[in-house]
Amino acid sequence: MSEPLVLRTKAELREALAPRRRAGESIGLVPTMGYLHEGHLSLLRAARARCDVVVMSLFVNPTQFRAGEDLERYPRDEARDVELAGREGTDIVYAPATDEVYPPGFATWVEVGGGLTDVLCGHPDRRGPEHFRGVTTVVAKLFNAVQPDVAFFGQKDAQQALVIQRMARDLDFPIEIVTVPTVREPDGLAMSSRNAYLSPAERERAPALYRALEAARAERDRGGMPADALAAARRVLDEAGIEPEYLEARYADDLTPAAAFDGRPVLVALAAQVGEARLIDNVVLEPNRADERPDGRETG
């Protein structure tokens, strides 16, 4: 295990990366808000396997929190995070202060449209599109500060990953965006820093989110339509006493509503409040044989 270099300013970061970049080494970025768990560590491992230099950002981004959300109590433990990152071979931890990222007078934002940020978590009645405006702005700033060759994001935040991919494409960031599979507890619960909010009783109920998604998958495999899959998922949540904030089936490439399993990957996504924890999860239902035409070609 090597101890990462902890840097606080863009100037320090650029100075540290300049000789590595001149030497032609590849740079990987793992953006995080800290309080690392196995999901984050899987991103760091993926970066370590692909890149010569691994940079992890450690910044609780205030602009992606709505008023009344958990910004102030979001779990933080920098010393633990740096130690865990070091165990995975991380070279640099970039942990700036808020005013380093958003200096006085900051007034510029990055917004992604195209129907990607005003649905699911971005629906105005939920976290709202301003949540993703905060995400895309801070990630764009990290891309500019680090100038990575590859950036790594988790599938658990599927909508966020899709939004970042669109931003990188539209703004010509020369960065490969890699999405790493969701890491789960043995009972299926997707790992999340917010799982720390769950009481023991709530922790027992929370895996119902994943069971609901698997019920949706099973219904699709039986030949059901997306509405049938969502109904099957809803029954599992009802049995656990969980009311979803949303439970939807959308095409995984553009988040338009999926009315059928027609040869395109379908994202089944849900969010639910379990006690004090707002949990999200999803599965992507890839096309299977039942989605093909009689001539063997995919439908759609």
Catalytic residues: 40
CA 208 to chain centre: 20
Give the phi and the psi of residue 229 in degrees, each rounded to 5.
-65, -40
Amino acid type, 188: G
* Residues 6+ away with beta carbon under 8 Å from 99: none
| Residue 182 vs residues 37, 107, 220: alpha-carbon distances, Å | 12, 34, 21
* Residues 6+ away with beta carbon under 8 Å from 293: 299
Structural contact between residues 3 and 79, judged by C-beta atoms closer than 8 angstroms:
no
Burial of 266 (0-12, 13-18, 19+ CB in 10 A): buried
Q: What are 90's two structure tokens?
A: 């991380």
Give the phi and the psi of residue 3 in degrees, each rounded to 5.
-80, 125
CA-CA distance, 69 to 33, in Å (whole number)? 15
